[in-house]
Amino acid sequence: MSELHEAITRAIEEAIEGARVEVTGGQGGHFELSVTSTAFEGKRTLERHRMVLGAIKELMAGHDAPVHAIDSIRTSTG
């Protein structure tokens, strides 16, 4: 796992209680995420995606951000 994959994983795990994270991709700063957490229970897809993206917003900030895009987000409650 690359250092950037680890940074993404760590940021999500710190922001979303009990999150289990799988990060794939990375070509050109494009990633796919799969996040499982009971914190998603009762939340709609848009709310779940906002939680995930909010967790990594610092990695996506600015013109030279290491994360250029998230091509896919899959979320589940477990």
pLDDT per residue as tens digits for the range 25-60: 999 899 999 999 999 999 999 999 999 999 999 999
The structure's pTM equals 0.94
DSSP 66: S
- Domains of the chain listed by start with CATH number: 3-76 (3.30.300.90)
Residue count of the chain: 78
pLDDT, residue 1, reads: 73
Instruction: Give the residue from 40, 17, 20 showing the smallest Cα distance to 9.
Output: 20
pLDDT per residue as tens digits for the range 1-18: 799 999 999 999 999 999
Q: How far apart are CA 13 and CA 27, in angstroms?
A: 23
Q: How far apart are CA 63 and CA 41, in angstroms?
A: 34
Give the number of other CB atoms < 10 A from CB of residue 11: 20
